[in-house]
Amino acid sequence: MSTKAYCELSHILFFITTGDSLYQILGVEKTATNEDIKKTYRRLALKYHPDKNPNNPEASEKFKEINHAHSILSDATKRNIYDNYGSLGLYIAEQFGEENVNTYFLVNSGWCKVKISFTIVLLYFNYFTK
């Protein structure tokens, strides 16, 4: 893997795990209130709206990013998932349902895998040593 590709990958992974990128897109802090997010969204949406920038494809892309960020950060459940688990948490919520996100991360944590492995070993020895 080239140095440039590695840097880009680590940059993406940083945003996936920290959840900062949606806040950065809107230019608000993680502690921003729903009202702050709403005001900032409206201001940016007006600035980058495709109708106001008909010959600027970059503005259109920025508008899509702003809408995506707002759709996540204005929904309390999605925002909580995003704050706790980043983009990966949102992906898991989309695949398995919002109510299963915590369970997914719990089951995939290291201590849970060790506990399951230990339980299997105990069951194995109890079954075959009788």
pLDDT averages per 10-residue partition of the chain, 130 residues: 52 50 93 96 96 92 93 95 90 88 80 74 76
Whether 44 is in a domain gets the answer yes
Residue 93: inside a domain: yes
pTM, full prediction? 0.68
Q: What is the pLDDT of residue 106?
A: 79
Q: What domain count does the chain have?
A: 1
Orientation of helix 76-96 relative to helix 3-18, angle to 10° = 120
Q: Is residue 76 part of a domain?
A: yes
Specify the CATH number for the domain of residue 62: 1.10.287.110
Residue 29 near residue 23 (C-beta atoms within 8 A)? yes
113 within some domain: no
How is residue 66 written in tokens?
A: 């702003």
